[in-house]
Chain A
Amino acid sequence: MKIVVCVGSNCTMMGADSIIASLENLKETILKKEGVNPVFDLDIEIARCLGECKIKKAVSPVVVVDGVIYHNASREEIMSVVLDAAFDNILTK
């Protein structure tokens, strides 16, 4: 799973940093536990302003999860998307 967290001015102001911190924390904690799908891999990237905030007001922070854009992303929302995928073993079954 590839997550791109925008760290442009708007998104940084609205808490991008704390989203990155919680994703990194997941990697160190829950994602190291048993039961995680062995093919699951979390790749966290940071990017300059993705341009979303210039098209529409009040959309920050912006996070892109495997190509899907999340506006006003919250850390709980993104973390749960990650965990849902990480613990989904249907694919490998």
Chain B
Amino acid sequence: MREFYNDIINIRRMVFAAIARIAYEDEDLKKLGDETYRLIPGEKAHYRENVFRERAVIGERLRLALGLDARTAAETGPISEGIENVDVDTRVYTPPLVSVIKIACEACAEKTVFVTNNCRKCLAHPCKNVCPKNAITIEKSGAVIDQAKCIKCGRCKTECPYHAIVEYGRPCAASCGVNAIKSDYLGRAEIDDSKCVACGNCIQECPFGAISDKSEIFQLIKAITSGKEVYAIIAPSFVGQFGALTTPEQVFDGIRELGIKDVVEVGLGADLTTLNEAKEFVETVPEKDPFMGTSCCYSWKLMVEKNFPEINDYISESSTPMVYTSHHIKKNHPDSKVVFIGPCISKKLEALQDHVKDYVDFVITFEELMGMFVAKEIEPAEIEVDGKIKDASVTGRGYAVGGGVAQAVKERIHEINPDMDVKVECIEGLAECVKIMRLAKLGMKNGLLLEGMACKNGCIGGPGTVVSAARARKSVATFSKESPYKSPADNDNINPEDMPK
């Protein structure tokens, strides 16, 4: 969550709450246009230059939240166009998951070096003297950079005694670790789907709120209200997300009040991931494989698959906590539907994979769940609860925070073989992940257990979170300590036959 982007965050969340309300109240989707007036009332603009554009953008957001594709201005027709296709109770969305809302994009310049009005037009003009392309002239107004000549080396910027020269780029492109953002013919951002790994960084970073993913809340709620038996599995980072006075147990009860049959911690699946990865590491590194990468962050996994095929085999074969937990549910309740609730959007993509799609029926984020609470006027903090949640071990709960996965696997390896000294390296942020994998390819990470996380701070820093990572970190730590299981091997919720042999 980008703390100081409040308006953008709030608009996004209001849209989720609106769609959730429409779904629960079974309102006619044909009237979706009315919602844009409810969300942006009056005639004074608050966010953009005029209220019409504000409504148009929020209209596209509403459509994306229903699972529809983002449209360009040329395609923008009636807001309810194509709506019958998404008015169902099963997952409908198809890739791309992350797209640019073209009518919101301000077509920020790609990398630019620019003279601001701080320029005093000084006599020394070191900017001009240092420019290797002779791109700077001193005009009446001050220094001017000929953009056609400029090679963006930034030397002038360093030399200016008044800090009058700035270098800036597109926030979206700068935030993308895999260089997936290009320009379209109008200079607006365009995401190259073949490169995108759906980490959600650009969604958080665009200062105009012009990038969004698609949501499945509408279809999820339809599944609930049509009487399907829906189970929720919730990622370890959920603690502390739903109000500073809400306990984890109250979150679970709140989810049940939404019409969901029951909730299980994904920490349970995380325990299985730990057990499997530890076993795998002991058996394969360094004899068979030079190093092992963790497998739970799907964006990281996808990044390696797309960019480093030659070392892709060294990513652990163990399944992700989401997959193990969904198997656990479907085994006990074969006819049920499973919704994964997490901080992450790339899980929406993971859930479309052939080996996952029958186990995970829906994926929503914490923000989207918050929207459902608001739509149903549920106050989790006011629910009377008794008992404690006991689905996962201490280290399974620790998966939420960067470094937690490696820590869990390391501790488990130590249980299997106390003499084995495992070296770990934890990488946070997609760009950083790419850097480290380049080194790994050169053999410079041999012998290591590499934990890769596309988000800074790990899952608590994910694009679908409600509260800042700093606060979430504390809540996760407290809840983790409360677990009755010190080791994932002690977790007696796991069916014995699912334990790795």
Contact = CB atoms under 8 A, between A and B. Distances in A.
Interface stretch (B29-37, B238-246, B343-351, B352-360): B238-246
A78 B222 CA distance: 40
Given A7-B245, A9-B379, A12-B243, A18 B6 contact: yes
Interface stretch (B118-126, B270-278, B368-376, B406-414): B368-376
A62 interface: no
Given A12-B370, A13-B374, A48-B379, A7 B244 contact: yes
Contact of A13 (B13, B377, B381): B13
Given A17-B466, A48-B382, A49-B382, A7 B10 contact: no
B430 to A, nearest CB: 24
Contacts of A15: 6, 9-10
Contacts of B367: 13
B244 A20 contact: yes
Interface string A7-43: 1111011111110110000000000000000000000
A9 B373 contact: yes
A7 B243 contact: yes
A46 interface: yes
Interface residues of B, number: 28
Nearest to B367: A13
B28 interface: no
A54 interface: yes
A14 B367 CA distance: 10
B243 A8 contact: yes
A17 B381 contact: no
A13 B244 contact: no
A9 B243 contact: yes
Contact of A48 (B3, B245, B467): B245
A92 B301 CA distance: 62
Given A18-B3, A49-B382, A54-B377, A13 B471 contact: no
Given A21-B3, A48-B379, A48-B382, 11 more contacts: A7-B243, A7-B244, A9-B242, A9-B370, A9-B378, A15-B6, A48-B243, A49-B381, A49-B382, A54-B377, A75-B6
Interface of A: 7-10, 12-18, 20-21, 46-49, 54, 74-75
Given A8-B379, A9-B242, A46-B244, A17 B471 contact: yes
A74 B7 CA distance: 10
23 contacts: A7-B243, A9-B374, A9-B377, A9-B378, A9-B379, A12-B243, A12-B244, A13-B13, A13-B371, A13-B373, A13-B374, A14-B13, A15-B9, A15-B10, A16-B243, A16-B244, A18-B4, A18-B6, A21-B468, A21-B470, A21-B471, A49-B381, A75-B6
Interface in B459-476: 466-468, 470-471
Contacts of B467: 12, 17
Nearest to B370: A13
Contacts of B68: none
B306 to A, nearest CB: 35
A14 B243 CA distance: 11
Contacts of A8: 243, 379, 381
A31 to B, nearest CB: 19
Contacts of A7: 243-246, 381
A54 B17 CA distance: 15
Contacts of B396: none
A12 B382 contact: no
B380 interface: yes
Contacts of B3: 18, 21
Contacts of B377: 9, 54
A13 B9 CA distance: 9
Nearest to A8: B379
Interface string B226-266: 00000000000000001111100000000000000000000
A10 B18 CA distance: 12
A58 B466 CA distance: 18
B17 A13 contact: yes
Contacts of A18: 3-4, 6, 468
A46 B470 CA distance: 18
B166 to A, nearest CB: 25
A48 B381 contact: yes
A49 B379 contact: yes
Nearest to A74: B6
A46 B245 CA distance: 8
